[in-house]
Structure 1
Amino acid sequence: MTNMLIVALLFFVLMAIGMPVAFAIGIAGVVFFVQNPDLPFTIPAQVTISQTQNFALLAVPLFILAGNFMNRSGITERLLDLASVLTGRLKGGLAQVSILLSALMGGVSGSAIADAAMQSRVLGEEMTRRGMSPGFTAGVLSFGSILTPIIPPGIGMILYGTIGQVSIGRLFAAGFIPALMLGLGLSFAVWLTAKKRNYPPQRTTRPSLAEYGSAFRGGIWALLFPVFLLAGLRMGIFTPSEIGAFAVVYALFIGILVYRKMNAKGFVHALEISLGDVGAVMFLISLSAIFSYGIVFERIPEVISEGITSITDDVSLVMVLIVILVIIAGCFIDATVLIIMMTPIFLPLVRSLGGDPVHFGIVFIVAATIGNFTPPVGAAMYTVCSILKVRVGTYTRESVPLMIAIAIVSLLLIFVPKAVLFLPNLLFG
């Protein structure tokens, strides 16, 4: 246990001095073996390679590539039109459009940080020009992107399902209703703030039937994407890995033949971005195996389980404690790292208490994602604040209503598991 405390302390020190996360976690993990000379030093090399040999992980690079192809296909503009038609007349106008656009983009990008960056460039300046405070604008654009990772095909779901041996198909299905609840909670928080500050709607006239029809026709291919994913998994047409290949073909089909926005330059640009994204994720996954080996060797999951169960053995209260721990850790560690590191620690505990791994997975992924939006190291927070030139303190202060909305919905998800499990049980039994 003492050895792992030293390893954890070193990890935080390396992170504090600005070392990239993958190197910090790998170097800290190697120190565990330095402290244990009885362990063969070939193990770090072996686990680094074996960690990436899981066939299910093939879905990760494929979905990343599909997401980048979709973003280059012209689908963002059409989804923005659809979101504007549906929510433009609500109080808060463009802020409401932003929340709905994040939900619609869930099946396209799968990344909260990418969604926050995209929306900041597309909507940020216009929101402030229409009278919304810069801090509130940054908060909405940042926190709204929490919807993106829990709508299929979220990369966090694939990582959690692969590491924890949980059905990825059921996780995909489980994300829809929680995303709807989070979207409604954030929309209500935006509405209250907009009403208090008298922020105007984006449009004052009701859309015509022709506008509704045009907007839905433009966005239908993006809306059908997660439906096709679930249908393919449910009917046994695809495995989770194979459906990633289908997603790539589907994205190319939309970009080249439907919207005709994908040209040779866009294709090459999407490949270049995907190479960087895939390399970063897979490098992190491989080096995290060194760190995870020490966690298992020192029986950290059992120690934490005993500590939590000494407080309570009620699975719902245990999940509340886990969520609090994950949110605190998320203030310092990236969501992807949290999912990779903490799934082997907390999932066995929840299972031993009779909790459903799909239910816990959605709650856990939401909690891990919150760290992207909170100081001191929230990636989405810094992305939005840098683009809009907003101070972190201002952003944090004006984001409080949004954080409260997410906290309330998270508690509902914990104590009302049927909200998470209804759709996967309906589709998969």
Structure 2
Amino acid sequence: MTLVFIAFVIFLLFGMPMAFAIGISGALFFLQHPNLPATILVQLPVTQTQNFALLAVPLFIFAGNLLNSGGTTQRLAKFAGLLTGHMRGGFAQTSVVLSTLMGGVSGSAIADAAMEARLLGDDMKKAGYSKGFIANNIAFTGLITATIPPGNALIIFGTTSNVSIGKLFAGGLIVGGFMMMVMMLATWGISRMRNYQPARSTRASAKEIVVSLKECIWALIFPIMLLVGIRMGLFTPSEVGAFACIYALLVGAFIYKELNVKTFFEALENTVKDVGAVMFIIALSAIFGYGVPIEKVPQVVSQFMVGISTNPNIILLLLVLILTLVGMFMEGAATILILTPVFMPLILQMGIDPVHFGLIVCTVVTMGNCTPPVGLSMFTVNSIIGCSLNEYTKEMIPWLVTFLLSMIVLVFLPGPFLFLQNLLF
């Protein structure tokens, strides 16, 4: 597997697309072991895509696109603006809250960042915010979206590690709320130092908030319905994905009445693109991961980590550091698929709650979208608002430090984050 990992890194450095880097480097393992049947190379990707639990990924992506096309995003943005417009850096605070609300709709940090850059970017620039601040605010608050159900990373981790997706959803709801408070505090602090003004001069009235809440209530109860459905045994994660699609279709077509034939096919087209990219990586990761148990990579990693420390919290901090560095060069889904089988035996050996570990993994690897050199959210937002990589990187430090400090809290104080999943399950 040493040759496989080296080849994988080299392919990434040369700019090879992630899916091909995973598949081609994984195939090298079979060249090293000519006694293995070549047919396995074909069977592994096909078998990986036949995993029933993974059916939830394309279904939730489709549901999110249907809700976006059905007018949900605009209503959530209006509601978030009413809640936060009177605060320091009002438009930036709106971005934080909107990312939290969008967590129950899109489940994708990149999609959320792109949407908010188009929706709020111009208003932020007119308000005098620097482009670096705008880009980092939108990119980093997109992390919240990925942790709130139905986050795609949570589904992929749960499937890969055989951990309850329902429990991950419950924990993700708490982590998302915590990340919202942390990012709002960071936004307030930076805005205060730079004298960024509120977006509106007065607080929204209770009547305005209630009226706006009624308009977007169907989106807000969406993640709660998912959790209740799974907990009561009404749905498996895959079945609740199908329910989500029907729910999104009904809300967009009959309640908001903005989902028509044209917008439906636009949502379908976007879903095909999104699903194709994600599932291609998932399929080829089976080739890459085939040799991991054969070469006993988990055992080697466990021995090395235990040799450094036997304290579970120190082990988790080391894993946060490793995942942060890896996430700078690898796409989140690929990181989860490749490294979860390597680290899970160590996590179980140390007596760490797999749900706790999963929440850390899904949050940290998503942060890789916000950092150079290959952060997809970073490049997406920069291109939309016209921010240079140099300007983005200069203003990234306080956001990155804030995120890492929040991960330290998550590592050392798991109780509050696991409270809901312990209560429900």
TM-score bracket for the superposition, by shorter chain length: over 0.9
Query: Partners in 1 of 2:17 and 2:387 — Cα distance?
Result: 24
Instruction: Give the aligned partner of residue 193 of structure 2.
Output: 196
Report the residue type matching 1:190 in the other structure: T
Query: Partners in 1 of 2:347 and 2:10 — Cα distance?
Result: 30
1:137 to 129, 134, 137: 134
Instruction: Give the aligned partner of residue 399 of structure 2.
Output: 402
Give the secondary structure class of the aligned counterpart of 2:290.
helix
The correspondence of residues 32-47 of structure 1 with structure 2, limited to 5 A, is: 32-47=29-44
So what's the TM-score if we normalise by structure 1?
Answer: 0.97
Instruction: Give the aligned partner of residue 55 of structure 1.
Output: 52
Kindly provide the CA deviation profile for residues 18-48 of structure 1, in whole angstroms up to 9, marking residues without a partner as x. Answer: 2221111101111111122122222211222
Kindly provide the CA deviation profile for residues 266-299 of structure 1, in whole angstroms up to 9, marking residues without a partner as x. Answer: 1111111111211221111111000001222211
Query: Partners in 1 of 2:277 and 2:380 — Cα distance?
Result: 18
Give the secondary structure class of the aligned counterpart of 1:61.
helix
Instruction: Give the aligned partner of residue 243 of structure 1.
Output: 240
The correspondence of residues 367-382 of structure 1 with structure 2, limited to 5 A, is: 367-382=364-379
The correspondence of residues 148-187 of structure 1 with structure 2, limited to 5 A, is: 148-187=145-184
Deviation, structure 1 residue 206:
1.9
2:85 to 54, 76, 88: 88
Instruction: Give the aligned partner of residue 219 of structure 2.
Output: 222
Query: Partners in 1 of 2:400 and 2:183 — Cα distance?
Result: 9
Give the secondary structure class of the aligned counterpart of 1:175.
helix
Query: Partners in 2 of 1:276 and 1:296 — Cα distance?
Result: 32
Query: Partners in 2 of 1:118 and 1:22 — Cα distance?
Result: 25
Contact 1:91 1:194 in 2 (8 A): yes
Give the secondary structure class of the aligned counterpart of 1:108.
coil
Report the residue type matching 2:343 in the other structure: F
Greater displacement, 209-218 / 376-385: 209-218
2:25 to 11, 14, 28: 28
Report the residue type matching 1:108 in the other structure: V
Deviation, structure 1 residue 309:
0.5
Contact 2:85 2:203 in 1 (8 A): no
Deviation, structure 1 residue 209:
2.3
Query: Partners in 2 of 1:197 and 1:140 — Cα distance?
Result: 14
Aligned-residue CA RMSD in angstroms? 1.0
Give the secondary structure class of the aligned counterpart of 1:296.
helix
The correspondence of residues 240-279 of structure 1 with structure 2, limited to 5 A, is: 240-279=237-276
1:343 aligns with 2:340: yes
Query: Partners in 1 of 2:203 and 2:95 — Cα distance?
Result: 19
So what's the TM-score if we normalise by structure 2?
Answer: 0.98
Report the residue type matching 1:291 in the other structure: F
Deviation, structure 1 residue 17:
2.5
Contact 1:140 1:399 in 2 (8 A): no
Kindly provide the CA deviation profile for residues 79-100 of structure 1, in whole angstroms up to 9, marking residues without a partner as x. Answer: 0111011111111110000000
Contact 1:178 1:419 in 2 (8 A): no
Report the residue type matching 1:57 in the other structure: L
Identity %: 48
Instruction: Give the aligned partner of residue 120 of structure 1.
Output: 117
Give the secondary structure class of the aligned counterpart of 1:242.
helix
Greater displacement, 332-341 / 10-19: 10-19
Residue segments in structure 2 that go unaligned for 5+ positions in a row: none
Contact 1:152 1:226 in 2 (8 A): yes
Report the residue type matching 1:69 in the other structure: L
The correspondence of residues 291-330 of structure 1 with structure 2, limited to 5 A, is: 291-330=288-327
The number of residue pairs the alignment matches comes to: 425
Kindly provide the CA deviation profile for residues 368-398 of structure 1, in whole angstroms up to 9, marking residues without a partner as x. Answer: 1111000000000010111111111211221
Query: Partners in 2 of 1:408 and 1:219 — Cα distance?
Result: 33
Deviation, structure 1 residue 210:
2.0
Instruction: Give the aligned partner of residue 360 of structure 2.
Output: 363
Query: Partners in 2 of 1:327 and 1:419 — Cα distance?
Result: 23
1:388 to 380, 385, 400: 385
Give the secondary structure class of the aligned counterpart of 2:352.
coil
Give the secondary structure class of the aligned counterpart of 1:390.
coil
Query: Partners in 1 of 2:76 and 2:393 — Cα distance?
Result: 28
Report the residue type matching 2:21 in the other structure: A
